[in-house]
């Protein structure tokens, strides 16, 4: 607890220093390389003790450009900010294991999908907190004996309304549901070649509408895994020195949140954000050393520079390219906003 309080106080002090001194080069250094360089926006989203956070797990941008944060603090699981960092709304007291957050457009409305590790469920809600639907452990799959074997980490969504649930903290299976929320099938797990700790976060890659695929952040396995919608392996992208927890796309690039550069061997090691091009080649490491590819074309081991980030867990990118970072086990800190330079 002392460590968390210290980290929280340090970040608040850092934000105050930025606010007082401005974004000078010696105070807010450039992060990243090449065309993807950023500066921290000082004090963005920092609130008072009336609105605490614990672990900041998920973060998304809605159609109005507001930033929605998921934290496992049950005083307020959901915080909704505008782009300036002003709190617009907060709700949620029933998600002690809040983890994955997905925003999905259904016709004229937007909805949230929330996974809860402790309640072993997936929830579908409105942006204001109304509960529409919930899914318990997939007993019909025949892959689980008990509810507590199932610890869903994230949901991945297709344009037709179908979605997939990653069991990243349980038995590493992936379960598909149709647009009505009906169970379709389960695949993956150890028997499908997906090892523990593996499928933590990810996204559906629908750039090729004829052959959409799942792109999965394989956390401790240090790679991105591409699967067909039936669960067949289509490729791997190695991320040595990274610990990919989530992937988000923006325009023609992908953004990967790495929890730390030596996790879980050293849980005090720190993380960074990778920017990948359309072919999944790393072009910038925000808060990390520049990516290096060897003569054989293989990405060399990446590392954090130990600045700004502690443990990035999720990211979202707004319409103008600013990045918002939610962090796990990082001293109860609020999200970090990065403006592109």
DSSP one-letter string for 208-274 = STTS-EEEEE-GGG-EEEEEETTS-EEEEEE-TT--EEEEEEETTEEEEEES-SSTTT-TT---EEE
The alpha helices in 65-163, defined as continuous H runs, are none
Q: Are 286 and 31 in contact (CB under 8 A)?
A: yes
> pTM for the whole thing?
0.92
pLDDT single digits (tens) 244-260: 999 999 999 999 999 99
Strands, E assignment, 64-140: 67-71, 78-81, 87-91, 98-106, 109-116, 121-126, 131-135
The whole-number average pLDDT for the span 159-163 is 97
The count of C-alpha atoms lying within 13 angstroms of the C-alpha of 86, restricted to the half-sphere facing its C-beta, is 4
Average pLDDT, the chain: 93
The whole-number average pLDDT for the span 201-213 is 96
Cis peptide bond N-terminal to 147, omega within 30:
no
Beta partners for residue 61, in sequence order: 67
pLDDT single digits (tens) 74-107: 999 999 999 999 999 999 999 999 999 999 999 9
State the fold for domain 2-340: Neuraminidase (2.120.10)
- Determine the pLDDT at residue 136: 98
- Determine the pLDDT at residue 307: 86
How far is Cα 158 from Cα 119, in angstroms, rounded to an integer? 25
User: Which residue, among 60, 111, 69, 123, has the nearest Cα to 91 in the 3D structure?
Assistant: 69
Residue ranges per structural domain of the chain: 2-340
| Main-chain phi, psi angles of 141, to 5 degrees | -70, -25
Q: Which helix (H) or strand (E) holds 204?
A: strand 201-205
The whole-number average pLDDT for the span 32-56 is 97
Quote the percentage of the chain above a pLDDT of 70: 92
When pLDDT is cut at 50, 70 and 90, the band that residue 28 belongs to is confident
Q: Which helix (H) or strand (E) holds 9?
A: helix 2-21
How far is Cα 79 from Cα 331, in angstroms, rounded to an integer? 18
Q: Are 136 and 147 in contact (CB under 8 A)?
A: yes
How far is Cα 112 from Cα 133, in angstroms, rounded to an integer? 11
How far is Cα 17 from Cα 312, in angstroms, rounded to an integer? 22
């Amino acid at each position: 607890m002392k460590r968390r309080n210290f980290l929280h106080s340090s970040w608040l002090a850092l934000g105050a220093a930025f606010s007082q001194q401005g974004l000078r080069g010696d105070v807010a250094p450039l992060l990243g390389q090449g065309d993807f360089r950023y500066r921290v926006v000082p004090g963005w989203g920092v609130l008072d003790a009336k609105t605490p956070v614990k672990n900041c797990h998920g973060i998304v941008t809605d159609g109005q450009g507001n930033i929605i944060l998921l934290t496992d603090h049950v005083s307020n699981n959901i915080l909704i900010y505008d782009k300036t960092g002003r709190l617009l709304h907060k709700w949620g007291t029933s998600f002690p294991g809040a983890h994955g957050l997905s925003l999905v457009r259904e016709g004229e409305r937007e909805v949230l999908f929330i996974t809860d590790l402790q309640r072993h469920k997936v929830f579908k809600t409105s942006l204001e907190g109304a509960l529409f639907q919930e899914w318990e452990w997939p007993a019909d799959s025949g892959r689980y004996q008990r509810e507590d074997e199932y610890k869903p980490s994230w949901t991945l969504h297709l344009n037709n309304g179908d979605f997939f649930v990653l069991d990243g903290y349980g038995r590493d299976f992936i379960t598909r549901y149709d647009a009505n929320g009906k169970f379709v099938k389960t695949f993956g797990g150890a028997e499908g070649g997906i090892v523990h700790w593996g499928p933590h976060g990810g996204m559906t890659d629908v750039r090729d509408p004829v052959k959409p695929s799942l792109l999965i952040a394989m956390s401790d396995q240090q790679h991105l895994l591409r699967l067909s919608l039936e669960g067949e392996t289509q490729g791997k992208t190695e991320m040595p020195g990274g610990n990919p927890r989530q992937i988000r796309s923006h325009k023609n690039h992908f953004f990967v949140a790495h929890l730390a550069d030596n996790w879980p061997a050293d849980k005090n090691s720190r993380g960074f954000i990778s920017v990948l091009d359309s072919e999944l080649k790393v072009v910038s490491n925000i808060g990390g050393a520049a990516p290096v590819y060897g003569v054989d074309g293989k990405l060399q081991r990446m590392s954090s520079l130990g600045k700004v980030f502690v443990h990035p867990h999720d990211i979202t990118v707004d319409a103008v390219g600013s990045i918002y970072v939610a962090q796990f086990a990082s001293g109860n800190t609020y999200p970090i906003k990065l403006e592109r330079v």
